Amino acid sequence: MLARIQVPAQAKRGEIITIRIAIQHPMETGYRPDHFGRRIPRNVIHTLVVRFAGAEVFRADMGSGVSANPFLQFHVRAEAGGEFTFDWVDDTGAKGSERATLNVV
């Protein structure tokens, strides 16, 4: 799964940084028929977890009401340098993950 994660490479200690996540995914609702009139089964990224140095920072539980190619933005305080990890999983069990390193000066 293609994803674009935006974390600033560098921040001052105590600064509030913005994290943006965009993942390429159809977020199939389960209500949509295919060309033969059969219902396409639901397939959404139901869980996304963001961790910093192993500790959970942010978690999203999502359903079919979230748009295709889900986008998320939130704000984190840069206390120390380290690595953010992003992990998500969809209804088919397909997993995706990304990482980004933040340097605190």
Partner 1 sequence: MMLMIPRRRFLLACTALAAAPLISRAQGDPRRQALLREITGGPLPSAGRVLVDTPPLADNGHSVPLRVVIDSPMTAAERVRRITILAERNPRPIVASYVLGPLCARAEISTRIRLADIQEVIAVAEFSDGSWWMGGTRVIVTELACLEDG
Task: Give the residues lining the site for partner 1 (CB under 8 A).
Answer: 16, 29, 31-33, 52, 55-68, 70-77, 79
Q: Give dist(CA 16, CA 104) in Å, integer.
A: 11
To partner 1, the closest distance from the beta carbon of 30 in angstroms equals 9
Q: Cα 20 from chain centroid? A: 8
Closest CB to partner 1 among residues 69, 98: 69
Q: Measuring CA to CA, how many Å separate 60 from each of 1, 7, 21, 36? A: 17, 17, 11, 34
To partner 1, the closest distance from the beta carbon of 92 in angstroms equals 18
Closest CB to partner 1 among residues 4, 77: 77
Residue that is written with structure tokens 């992003």 in the block:
86
To partner 1, the closest distance from the beta carbon of 3 in angstroms equals 15
Closest CA to 5 of 101, 77, 95: 101
Closest CB to partner 1 among residues 32, 95: 32
